[in-house]
Amino acid sequence: MRIDFVITELFVGGAERCLTALAVSMASAGDEIRVFSLGSLPDHERGSLVKRLTDCGIEVSSGNANTSLQVMSAYSKLRKWLSHSNADVCQTFLHHANVLGTFAAKSSGIQTCVAGIRVAEPKRLRCRIEKYALKSSQSVICVSEAVEKFAASHLGCPASKLTVIPNGVDAKSFSTAQSFDWAHIGWPSDAAVSLFVGRLHPQKGIELLQSKIDELAPRGSNRRLALVGDGPLRAELESWAANCGPEQVQLLGWRPDIASLMTSCRLVVLPSRYEGMPNVILEAMASGKPVVCSRVEGSQELLQHDWLQQTFEVGDSQQMTVLASRFLDNESIATATGTANQQYVSQHHSWASVAKRYRDHYEDLIHA
């Protein structure tokens, strides 16, 4: 098959890793793959996904849109790019790509356009725009059953158009990652670290961690809190972390060594307000770590084997702290839970199985 993937950007993130893994897997199977990013392509360490794609011989192009004023220019570039492909399938990922990609594919004469809904973000205007665009798609792939319900209720997608295909994870790269020594950042090597990884954005509910810092990482204890990521809340969180002191919490910014950090932490915590199917939770499970996650979209499917001990109601900072303390106080419980998580992910979320489901779905659409 000839498949064109369109995504909003290619910085390292959950949807971006998914696209890259799918593209590489399908190219290895003999499909003709191209990738288009609406935003400018990242470089250096942040461009690791672009490098992985190009190293596999996959063409990567960009609309170079970094502001709203450049959207129409990116659309024109995308439309021209699609018109030269004669693709069998155009697969879009994320809101902006779903909107611009669907319209561009239709105007370019591509018969099969598949949208990808990866987060249940209930913003009214955003939903109205995407709802209109998705009418032109032949199929909408949702990353979890909860997102499927969101797509039906908020985006008006008929059940016949919806398909659920979950995220995958490269379990081996996380399970075999080299350990990180916390002494490198001034902490005891055996510190019991609660690790947050994600965009520093109000969506992620980081204020819950801030409100409970003295319980998650009491001064004078062996507990620590590490925040990894970048985003609009960075300056605010840097100021807060400085007030707490580096012996209690550190903001590490964007890091390329997430697998090593996960291998060395005690648990991964994600207090998000909404998600789709959190990739960071998949990665933590693949690393053999317990998680403490709010009951957002996709969490039940990932943690159904240990739902009550690893999830809490959205916004419930007290229950979050209770669950985290159970793992921080007892390393053997943390290890046993992490092992069960790792086994579950290995059985149900390999990239080979996920890529096959995408490919089978494309073939069904083409031959319908």
Kindly calculate the radius of gyration of the chain based on its CA atoms and give it in whole angstroms: 21
User: Residue 85: its pLDDT value, please?
Assistant: 83
- Residue of 126, 265, 271, 146 lying closest to 198 (CA atoms): 271
Domain limits for position 337: 171-348
List the pLDDT tens digit at each of the 368 positions of the chain.
999 999 999 998 888 989 999 999 999 999 999 999 999 999 888 899 999 999 999 999 999 999 989 999 999 999 999 998 889 999 999 999 999 999 999 999 999 999 999 999 999 999 999 999 999 999 999 999 999 999 999 999 999 999 999 999 988 999 999 999 999 999 999 999 999 999 999 999 999 999 999 999 999 999 999 999 999 999 999 999 999 999 999 999 999 999 999 999 999 999 999 999 999 999 999 999 999 999 999 998 999 999 999 999 999 999 999 999 999 999 999 999 999 999 999 988 988 889 999 999 999 999 98
Instruction: Please tell me whether residues 240 and 262 are part of one structural domain.
Output: yes
Beta bridge partner(s), residue 307: none
CA pair distance 235, 80, nearest whole angstrom: 39
CA pair distance 292, 205, nearest whole angstrom: 13
Instruction: Please tell me whether residues 154 and 274 are part of one structural domain.
Output: no
- The total domain count for the chain is 2
Instruction: Please tell me whether residues 223 and 286 are part of one structural domain.
Output: yes
Instruction: Please tell me whether residues 183 and 76 are part of one structural domain.
Output: no
Q: Tokens for 302, please give them.
A: 């990932």
User: Residue 44: its pLDDT value, please?
Assistant: 83
The residue type of 249 is: V
- Residue of 259, 190, 263, 185 lying closest to 226 (CA atoms): 185
CB atoms within 10 A of CB 351: 18
C-beta separation of 18 from 93 below 8 A: yes
Task: Provide φ and ψ at 61, rounded to 5°.
Answer: -125, 170
Burial class (CB in 10 A: 0-12, 13-18, 19+), 135: exposed
221 alpha carbon, distance to own chain's centre: 32
pTM: 0.88
Instruction: Please tell me whether residues 196 and 335 are part of one structural domain.
Output: yes
- Residue of 307, 309, 263, 312 lying closest to 289 (CA atoms): 263
- Residue of 251, 260, 261 lying closest to 231 (CA atoms): 251
Instruction: Please tell me whether residues 108 and 184 are part of one structural domain.
Output: no
Provide the 8-state DSSP code for 262: H
Instruction: Please tell me whether residues 69 and 100 are part of one structural domain.
Output: yes
Residues whose CB falls within 8 Å of the CB of residue 326, separated by 6 or more in sequence, listed in order: 309, 333
User: Residue 14: its pLDDT value, please?
Assistant: 84
- Cα 139 to Cα 18, 58, 194, 227, 234, distances in angstroms: 18, 24, 39, 37, 37
CA pair distance 141, 93, nearest whole angstrom: 9
C-beta separation of 27 from 355 below 8 A: no
User: Residue 345: its pLDDT value, please?
Assistant: 93
User: Residue 104: its pLDDT value, please?
Assistant: 95
Instruction: Encode pLDDT of 254-275 as tens digits.
Output: 999 999 999 999 999 999 999 9
Beta bridge partner(s), residue 4: 34, 90
Q: Tokens for 6, please give them.
A: 């369109």
C-beta separation of 280 from 15 below 8 A: no
Q: Tokens for 189, please give them.
A: 């090597």
The strands making up 2-7's β-sheet, listed across from edge to edge, are: 59-62, 32-37, 2-7, 89-93, 113-117, 139-142, 162-164
Instruction: Encode pLDDT of 43-64 as tens digits.
Output: 888 899 999 999 999 999 999 9
- Residue of 104, 144, 92, 103 lying closest to 276 (CA atoms): 144
CA pair distance 120, 74, nearest whole angstrom: 25
User: Residue 189: its pLDDT value, please?
Assistant: 97
CB atoms within 10 A of CB 259: 19
Instruction: Please tell me whether residues 324 and 210 are part of one structural domain.
Output: yes
Which residue's entry shows tokens 């990482």? Answer: 217
Instruction: Please tell me whether residues 44 and 126 are part of one structural domain.
Output: yes
User: Residue 45: its pLDDT value, please?
Assistant: 82
Instruction: Please tell me whether residues 245 and 258 are part of one structural domain.
Output: yes
Instruction: Please tell me whether residues 142 and 160 are part of one structural domain.
Output: yes
CATH of the domain at 44: 3.40.50.2000
User: Residue 12: its pLDDT value, please?
Assistant: 85
Instruction: Please tell me whether residues 57 and 157 are part of one structural domain.
Output: yes
- Residue of 15, 34, 14 lying closest to 24 (CA atoms): 34
